[in-house]
Structure 1
Amino acid sequence: MKQRPAFPAYFLIMIGAYFLLQKLNIVLFPEQNSWQTLILLFGAVFLLTSLAGKDDTYLVTGLIMTGLGIHFLMSGKNPAWPNHPAGITIIVGASLLLASIKAKSGYASGAVVLLAGLFIHYFQQIADTFSQLQQGIGYAEKFWPFLFLAAGLFLLFRKK
């Protein structure tokens, strides 16, 4: 028996419920009608499709969109929440890592992106810890993007 695609059904239910809440003026939380919530809901539809259908096609997309929706909703409201591009890098890395755990392969991609995001997020704290090496840290702060470029090119072109 051929299985019908569930994504369109989940999408229509989600978008219908979203706009029905708006039309009926039902407010469940303050930012309910924002574009951030819409991104979160789209991510939830991708996740639901992936998990309910046991199909990993939509898993990474769902994890990233859900993470970005949460990120944009939380940004500026919680002082501990990263409010800069490192937060997005951490979300993408964590999403890739979670998807690779489910697939039981490809851990390196997610781990590298997650570690890069954490490095960017905590760089200033790391630099402050090593204040004795301030001149070297200042030099490294200017050129660390080149280190990422070099590492990426090395991984891309290395012989197996």
Structure 2
Amino acid sequence: MKSQRIFPGIILIGFGAYFLLQQIGMTLFPAFFTWPTLMIIVGIAFLGQSYSGNDSEAVLPGVIMTGFGLHFHLVGHVSFWPQNTIGMLILIISIGFFLRFQKTGSGLFQAFLFLIVAVLLLFYDKIAGYFGLLQNGMSLVWKFWPVLLILIGIYFLFKKKK
């Protein structure tokens, strides 16, 4: 019975604190009165449900929502934070799948798949320069690598289970 009250409890406490601080005009953290903060609160509620309530399926949405909220808070304010939003969001999803794998034993393939895509997106310029893709005529292939992702996705959708 305890595990069913963790998620709504954290949501109510988090949203209540958020709106109370906003209503009393707390100016200590004015940048936190935005939608990414609400995403973090919901993500923390999912993580609380996952780790305290033994609901292993709540790990992935918890990491994704908390990570996305943190990313959108940090992207414009911290100098070392990567500016490539798509690459970071995919990396956060990958981390979620790794943590889900740690708790459930499933999702390792997805974790590595998202990690590879995130690394490609985050370090595109360095990878292209390292392999000299722009100089040796491979730029056309490199430009259309998302088509490969689409084809692999279609394969997984229609692959028959043995």
For the criterion TM > 0.5, the same-fold answer is yes
Distance 1:105 1:8 in 2: 26
Q: Does the residue aligned with 1:5 lie in a helix, a strand or coil?
A: helix
Aligned AA (1:138):
S
Distance 2:146 2:106 in 1: 28
Number of the residue aligned with 1:65: 65
| Structure 2: segments with no counterpart, 5+ residues | none
Offset, 1:16: 0.8
Structure 1 residues 157 and 4, CA gap change in structure 2 (3 angstroms)? closer
**Superimposed CA distance per residue, residues 21-68 of structure 1 (whole angstroms, 9 cap, x where no aligned partner):** 112223443422111111111111111121111111321111100000
Q: Does the residue aligned with 2:32 lie in a helix, a strand or coil?
A: coil
Q: Tell me if structure 2 keeps the 8 A contact 1:39–1:65.
A: yes
Aligned AA (2:80):
A
Q: Does the residue aligned with 1:86 lie in a helix, a strand or coil?
A: helix
Q: Tell me if structure 1 keeps the 8 A contact 2:59–2:99.
A: no
Aligned AA (2:40):
L
Structure with larger RCO (C-alpha < 8 A, sep 6+): 2
Number of the residue aligned with 1:107: 108
Runs of 4+ in 1 over 4 A off after TM superposition: none
Q: Tell me if structure 1 keeps the 8 A contact 2:63–2:96.
A: yes
**Superimposed CA distance per residue, residues 57-88 of structure 1 (whole angstroms, 9 cap, x where no aligned partner):** 32111110000001101112234323231111
Number of the residue aligned with 1:117: 118
Using the size of structure 2 for normalisation, the TM-score is: 0.86
Number of the residue aligned with 1:93: 94
Offset, 1:143: 1.2
Offset, 1:131: 2.7
Q: Tell me if structure 2 keeps the 8 A contact 1:127–1:134.
A: no
Q: How does 1:47-62 map to 2 (within 5 A)?
A: 47-62=47-62
Structure 1 residues 133 and 14, CA gap change in structure 2 (3 angstroms)? closer
Number of the residue aligned with 1:5: 4
Q: Tell me if structure 1 keeps the 8 A contact 2:133–2:139.
A: no
Number of the residue aligned with 2:144: 143
Q: Tell me if structure 1 keeps the 8 A contact 2:91–2:115.
A: yes
Distance 2:98 2:15 in 1: 29
Aligned AA (2:75):
S
Please tell me whether residue 127 in structure 1 is matched to residue 128 in structure 2: yes
Number of the residue aligned with 2:78: 78
Aligned AA (2:106):
S
Using the size of structure 1 for normalisation, the TM-score is: 0.87
